[in-house]
Structure 1
């Protein structure tokens, strides 16, 4: 039996290990860095590095690596051994403070949006001491930020840390107005991770899954998720073994894997951790995705993290449960039981409504990808229209502010903020709206639009930044007020009214919501190019640069990178699709046509006058479909060639949306019509029934 408390964090150089292994004074100085962001002196770093190396070697490590998150969306690492040669031909194992704190990986081979040329190779990784080092497969992995020789952020961690600092600064200003002098405010995140599991051998036979992560073809199976019998159903024994191994591996890395279950679609599952500080949660989610895939292979399985690996059933999301807390343990999104706490809560809530309403585009951009475009708006994923769900109780509270009406509580009095007629709001006073992109769930907001393969660094950087900007605006106004309570009342009333349009408690799938959202002036950004068209708007450049999260140059590079990646993903998908049509689907259909044709000939030879009506009808249909598929493939190829030469990054991305994707959809429709017509033994690759139900 696994001793979980003993296992948990055993591969992590966390504060408990630091306290045991570091001299008391060194630990005190390091703790100041961890808690307050104080710089770490080199002599302290040397002591930490030596203790870290000794611990790592005792736990089987031979190498170390600066583990960072470039703009590819996945992690990167360059391994160096602890070996240091001596004059007598022997070696010692050493690790210096300089090696701990800074590395120099090649920066020219990572996405930079044109800011780094091939000959401009130097880049730096810098240790992030707020995220704990861990041992992975005999290597000590040190979480780091990654920047270019000229200082631009080339990763997802650096802007995230900047955004956390911005929110910390502005939230403390607000709390000071309520008489609270806290030393730190941090955002916290719990990232629920959805994924599919399929048999590895079946996966190897699907070129589309291997090359793109999703099925480009596949007729609907006779059974999907329409019976609602998958969600929370008893786990398959093979999946049980996988989940046991996954949990134990994650626990070794100090990842708080808490919940596991079958999701709504066949072969779909979910893992949910306990929340953590955002920086740690982001790092741990990146590691979780890597571990999920590696553990699956150990069990002869394959983990699919694509947002929509199968058409016609649920896609996979990553629900980002976001909140704010002080270093004293106060959750700033807890409604509270006293009037004073409620007033403070309402101010923070108002700031969030303002920030989401004014920055719908930035939130949509933060979750935009070629894969997530397939998922949003159907099968329990929220729509592309950003809105806020508050639940019944909060909705009534804020409605009374908007309408200036009596709030129907026990005292039946007109509600005034900060006085005793404002009731305590129970933590679980909200239902769960699965169609809402941004839903209040008691003491946090659940950002449901994130895709399963997505790094949550981007969405949380956006969230932290836009809320920090709103809090700054509020603090600037309230700090000048001569009558704080009057100013607070006026501000909340004004801002709730101004941003009431973003609140929607209804069904996000209802067609009427699109018309209503348009009437309200909300944005429906269906695709990544639609969203990215707004990224460099002046208001967005102003926000990110004033909050010191991105420079204008960094934003320009991200604009190019996201559009280029979108086009690259579609380019790979089209190439794979054309290859599967020409090498797999059409040859299989021709082979089956040949077999049926011979059957007809043989039948007529043996049975004079036999009409073979069913066979002839089938042959006629297959002949028409194969001819049509060949024509669709030719059309797709021409459109693809045209798109690739459309001009700048945005023009290319738009050509894929407007011309190539519709051609892909048309080609797939014909291929999926052919699939159920040909004999099982002639099928070129495993079908949906095999992939979803053979575990």
Structure 2
């Protein structure tokens, strides 16, 4: 009964289209709807009417404040709460008020938010402006009080984008423009808008809060800097899709209820491969709204977990030796007439449209592979990509053999016949006949076609979904523009299309790979094909200054050269700060926790040796253990000092130089410290070891 009630409350805290229709006049609703669907500015009169209705609705749900909810270049969200109050007559109580001006425009102190040099430190003024394409919502605390959250874009005093939302919205507009042009040439004159859609599969870990608080590496960095492998990991495959512990199930039930109230269409929950790892998948929506939804999901995961005595870890690699977490971004294109352009058509026209857009995406991914890699270049993903759990830093596309054969037929001048889905039986009369999809899934592919969408699997679990979708939309826009430009010049467009797409496949077909992306053979094959392999996070970030990428974003008015340069500086600074924090945390824990514990244990062993000698017993095994302990302590001490010196040597003024030094000197030194500490953990008595072990953290939720 409770689950049914929770579903029935779906969207109750969202100022949705249905709510606006009920509370706004027909004229106001129509004007707002036109802006949402077709673009254009709202008059202040319309804004005032919307603000009054929104304020009344929000107060009915316990909201006393409102905030312009925006997404600076930190990977998370930002908010400043203002009460629904305005000055009354002098000396009298203030008035309850929320104006159209307050709805449309806000001011945020941008001096402490990253800008990458787009403004000076002393230039503090920044503006937020209402994004009416993403619905406002009321976020409530456990006591029932709430705040009205108004999704907004964030820019500098001079109009430079300082957030994730602004370039994403720009990319959606340019993609729609080019996609509509192509569709016009294919005979679809009724389509006025094409919307890129996305749906994120969010992976995460849940651990006991008491264990989290005892691990300062988790507290400060989000990942364990130390930890010997437990006796059992994920080798038995008994975690994936397993029955959930009751405490985790209770967490998920409350999480779903909270997300549904906020209009987030949370669909699927399940255990992931690693112990204590889980996944939540959300149904698709426009890529802008999907990015907003994902921020809400991550915030609610943390809040709800805390109420259940657990901590939600969103870091891409919180634990070594087991799988890390990603954010699989399922991306497609949908027209305002309801057609999914990446769904194989059932007739000749539908197949032509599908193959045109499919080939356009293949070409875009091949030509701008570095940009896609850059969009996922986060410090957390540094530890995840390339392992046997996540795609390598080589972009390829999985299509499946059946789709690939259709592409080849079409580009050779003929459309293959529409094939009915194959069916199979399980050999049991009481089991239903199964109809197979167009292709199998390839979980090793970084960019896989999955039947009616692409799954971009490189995205990191903690990062914003904004920039990966911005890059996807922009590279697709360029590819579609080239097709539209070529068809503009063609007399017989239907005759010219296969030849044009054939030329694109001849140039970019190397991007298709339907095999195992985790294999070493693929790395060699990719090199022979000339596919780029960006070997490091810093190299990926610096690709943002590649003239080809700069030109791409500038020509489509998604990011200017200065905005892109600023973004590169922000990402480098973030990398530098995060690695520096990790190194400092490692040094402190090593010196203040682990080494003292080892010393205490060595004293205990020494005392035991002395007592044994007094008793006339030769303590050979204890002596051997003490020698081994001291040898490991010596190696540990040496690695600590090496790391300390390496960190001191990275204090370069230039962000790029420092990033390279941190990556090439500090990170390897940190690995050596960890290796030495983990060896000690296997020797030191558990009663002395100062950190909860992997076994305790991953297999015990109290």
Aligned with 2:181 (options 173, 190, 211): 173
CA contact 2:266–2:282 (8 Å) conserved in 1: yes
Please give the alpha-carbon distance, in whole angstroms, between the structure 2 residues aligned to 1:227 and 1:422: 42
Cα distance, 1:452 vs structure 2: 0.3
Please give the alpha-carbon distance, in whole angstroms, between the structure 2 residues aligned to 1:18 and 1:659: 56
**Structure 2 partner of 1:635:** 642
SS in 2 for 1:534: helix
TM-score, scaled relative to structure 1: 0.96
Cα distance, 1:401 vs structure 2: 6.2
SS in 1 for 2:544: coil
SS in 2 for 1:191: strand
**Structure 2 partner of 1:302:** 311
Please give the alpha-carbon distance, in whole angstroms, between the structure 1 residues aligned to 2:214 and 2:417: 65
Q: Deviations over 1:91-121 (max 9, x none)?
A: 3311000000000111111111112112111
Cα distance, 1:341 vs structure 2: 1.2
Structure 1 range deviating more: 419-428 or 9-18: 419-428
Structure 1 range deviating more: 53-62 or 341-350: 341-350
Aligned with 1:16 (options 5, 15, 18): 18
Please give the alpha-carbon distance, in whole angstroms, between the structure 2 residues aligned to 1:339 and 1:5: 41
SS in 2 for 1:691: helix
Please give the alpha-carbon distance, in whole angstroms, between the structure 1 residues aligned to 2:338 and 2:388: 37
**Structure 1 partner of 2:403:** 394
Cα distance, 1:380 vs structure 2: 2.1
Please give the alpha-carbon distance, in whole angstroms, between the structure 2 residues aligned to 1:366 and 1:188: 17
Q: Deviations over 1:637-676 (max 9, x none)?
A: 111111222x522211111111111111111001000002
Please give the alpha-carbon distance, in whole angstroms, between the structure 2 residues aligned to 1:434 and 1:155: 31
SS in 2 for 1:504: coil
Cα distance, 1:79 vs structure 2: 0.5
**Structure 1 partner of 2:691:** 685
**Structure 1 partner of 2:33:** 31
Aligned with 2:165 (options 141, 157, 167): 157
Gaps of 5+ in 1: 405-415
Q: Does 1:142 align with 2:145?
A: no
Please give the alpha-carbon distance, in whole angstroms, between the structure 2 residues aligned to 1:562 and 1:519: 31
Please give the alpha-carbon distance, in whole angstroms, between the structure 1 residues aligned to 2:421 and 2:378: 37
CA contact 2:7–2:257 (8 Å) conserved in 1: no
Please give the alpha-carbon distance, in whole angstroms, between the structure 2 residues aligned to 1:227 and 1:611: 43
SS in 1 for 2:650: helix
Q: Deviations over 1:208-242 (max 9, x none)?
A: 00000000000000000001100000000110110
Please give the alpha-carbon distance, in whole angstroms, between the structure 1 residues aligned to 2:87 and 2:129: 25
CA contact 1:401–1:496 (8 Å) conserved in 2: no
Cα distance, 1:523 vs structure 2: 1.2
Structure 1 range deviating more: 114-123 or 420-429: 420-429
Cα distance, 1:183 vs structure 2: 1.4
Q: Does 1:227 align with 2:227?
A: no
Aligned with 2:98 (options 91, 95, 99): 95
Structure 1 range deviating more: 82-91 or 589-598: 82-91
**Structure 2 partner of 1:412:** none
Q: Does 1:121 align with 2:107?
A: no
Aligned with 1:368 (options 355, 377, 387): 377
Aligned with 1:514 (options 520, 523, 529): 523
TM-score, scaled relative to structure 2: 0.95
Please give the alpha-carbon distance, in whole angstroms, between the structure 1 residues aligned to 2:609 and 2:92: 80
CA contact 1:317–1:449 (8 Å) conserved in 2: yes
Shift of the 420–583 alpha-carbon distance from structure 1 to 2, 3 Å rule, reads: closer
Structure 1 range deviating more: 373-382 or 137-146: 373-382
**Structure 1 partner of 2:217:** 208
Q: Deviations over 1:401-422 (max 9, x none)?
A: 67x6xxxxxxxxxxx34x5646
**Structure 2 partner of 1:567:** 576
Q: Deviations over 1:319-353 (max 9, x none)?
A: 00000000111000011111111111111111101
Question: Number of paired residues?
Answer: 679
Aligned with 1:611 (options 613, 618, 632): 618
Cα distance, 1:76 vs structure 2: 0.2
CA contact 1:373–1:526 (8 Å) conserved in 2: no
**Structure 2 partner of 1:652:** 658
Cα distance, 1:425 vs structure 2: 7.8
Cα distance, 1:83 vs structure 2: 2.0
Q: Does 1:694 align with 2:696?
A: no
CA contact 2:48–2:100 (8 Å) conserved in 1: yes
Q: Does 1:264 align with 2:267?
A: no
SS in 1 for 2:75: coil
